Structure 1
Amino acid sequence: MFIDTHLHIIDRQALAYPWLAGVPALDRDFLYSQYAQEAERVGIKAALHMEVDVTPGEIAAETNYIRGLSAAPGNLIIGAISSCRPEEENFPAFLERCKADPFIKGFRRVLHVMPDDLSEQALFRENVKRLDGSGFTFDLCVLPHQIPRAATLADLAQGTQFVLDHCGVPAIAAHEQHPWRENIAEIARRPNVIAKISGVVAYADAESWKIDTLAPYVEHVVGCFGWDRVVWGSDWPVCTLGGGLSTWVAATHALFAGASEDERRRLFSENAQKLWKLELPA
């Protein structure tokens, strides 16, 4: 059984996604119905929706849209990771509103497409510290050279659980491992950071990658973080850039064929269930 900790739904009739114009392969609707049919076939039993960087004025609307989907009988979605803007003055009020909403499990501010110094701003850091004791997680989507900045955030808010998305976004297609390897080892030293083994097929060459292409990156992350500090995610529909959901699930099974049943269970579902205190559908 998989708990998918990184599902994106794109519905351009409901919400605005300005960044899609720059990614033609993703600039279309990717609806829940498309995901669910394939997800159920490959053993995904529940999912957390990950924010899709909607226009800032629609952050709450995105959560409400996903909440509406989740209310349908048999829907796989059991919570949401909301977008946020820690660099803004109104973040404290936003955080207080979210505390009253049990559907929201955590936050993410996309950083890999933003200036490197965004997370170094005093207000950004002050607001991230406000997450301590809130019970919310904070996803870190950063490029390899930005991982040290992510580690600094984890040091500033040691009472917050951070989640490093997509194995730290390694440049697999370029066969680059440095300084990614060193930076992964360093951030893994923080007990309040876990790693998400999610959608790395999107960072490999779509025409030529094989299991052996992905293995050095995935194995390094698991080796650094350990089996109790890793969770699995699809990164659908971004994973379609490297083959799609079924391909990524098949690759996951192949990558972890040598792991024990207990280790696979922790990665595939148990760690996520524990981290976000998830109640799974019967």
Structure 2
Amino acid sequence: MTVVDSHHHVWDLSVRDQDWITGEELAPIRRTFTLADLEPEARAAGVAATVLVQTVTVAEETPELLALADGSTLVAGVVGWTDLTAPDVADTLAALRALPGGGRLVGIRHQVQSEPDPEWLLRPDVLRGLRAVAAEGLVYDLIVRPHQLPAAARAAALLPGLTFVLDHAGKPPVALGTTQPWADGLRALAAHPNTVCKLSGLVTEADPRSWTVEHLRPYADTAIEAFGPDRLMYGSDWPVCRLAAPYADVLDAARELTGRLGEEGRQAVLAGTARRVYGLL
């Protein structure tokens, strides 16, 4: 069965610090991770293509990721970053498309989860930037926390021409074993047909030392029921996932969590949705 990994990262600490990798819990991933590190793991797991996702709000990172994709037979798409609030955001997006590897730019993302304003997505300057993303034929990856899901749902309603892809299922409180208010926020977002959800990042929202597939199941089932397999896509969140599990184990968990969907539904989650939504070759 073909697999597309819709969400992973790389970074080189000799080029740029990753200032979010702090503290003892994140110490195992405070080192450089390259495509050369990922590729043998991905190929061994049967992954045919991946989507490389930004990690920092630095304009220089996106051209670097596009250049990596341009030289890779694994990376089929890049979700980059640009300042959505900049007056010239449309010109910047067009310029990124013209760079080497620019044809692999499939989406834009901003660390909304770090914004103190829970309604940051609804600011007029942000909405203007999101319209430019849509006009360029790109999707928008949402990295938000549960309390920001209502604003995400309102943004999706205001911009029906833009596809919103929710990273890490909206970061549910897996470690706490609770589902609310996350589940209601997720369902409200899923009510808009221009939204898609990534089945990713759950292992690190759980207790990384003792998680099991059954700990993840209530959250995966909620996402499956809300979005359906045609609006759900698998992502590893490598190398962050290494805090809780090896690459192959994360994929095995996704296969188990989607087992009740049948072959067609599971194939949509593991590959088809990502290929369609991101327009991957």
* Equivalent-residue separation in structure 2 for 1:72 and 1:226 (angstroms): 34
From 32, 38, 43, the equivalent of 1:40 is: 43
SS at match of 1:81: strand
Asked if the contact 2:80–2:107 (Cα under 8 Å) also holds between the matched residues in 1, the reply is yes
Unaligned 5+ segments in structure 1 are none
SS at match of 1:127: helix
SS at match of 2:20: helix
**Length-normalised TM-score, structure 2:** 0.91
Which position in structure 2 is the counterpart of 1:92? 90
Which position in structure 1 is the counterpart of 2:34? 31
Aligned length: 274
Asked if the contact 1:81–1:107 (Cα under 8 Å) also holds between the matched residues in 2, the reply is yes
Asked if the contact 1:107–1:139 (Cα under 8 Å) also holds between the matched residues in 2, the reply is yes
Which position in structure 1 is the counterpart of 2:133? 131
User: Which aligned pairs between 1:232-243 and structure 2 lie closer than 5 A?
Assistant: 232-243=234-245
Which position in structure 2 is the counterpart of 1:120? 122
Alpha-carbon distance, 1:71 to partner: 4.1
1:226 is aligned to 2:228? yes
User: Which aligned pairs between 1:75-224 and structure 2 lie closer than 5 A?
Assistant: 75-100=73-98, 101-115=102-116, 116-224=118-226
SS at match of 2:234: strand
Which position in structure 1 is the counterpart of 2:263? 261
Alpha-carbon distance, 1:163 to partner: 0.2
User: Identity of aligned pairs, percent?
Assistant: 28
Bigger CA drift: 40-49 or 116-125? 116-125
Bigger CA drift: 39-48 or 114-123? 114-123
Bigger CA drift: 45-54 or 184-193? 45-54
Distance 1:179 1:134, change over 3 A: same
* Equivalent-residue separation in structure 2 for 1:159 and 1:131 (angstroms): 10
* Equivalent-residue separation in structure 2 for 1:179 and 1:99 (angstroms): 38
Alpha-carbon distance, 1:84 to partner: 2.0
Which position in structure 1 is the counterpart of 2:63? 64
1:12 is aligned to 2:10? no
Q: CA RMSD in A?
A: 1.7
* Equivalent-residue separation in structure 1 for 2:22 and 2:205 (angstroms): 19
Alpha-carbon distance, 1:110 to partner: 1.1
Deviations 1:94-126 (A, max 9, x none): 123234431211100111122124323221122
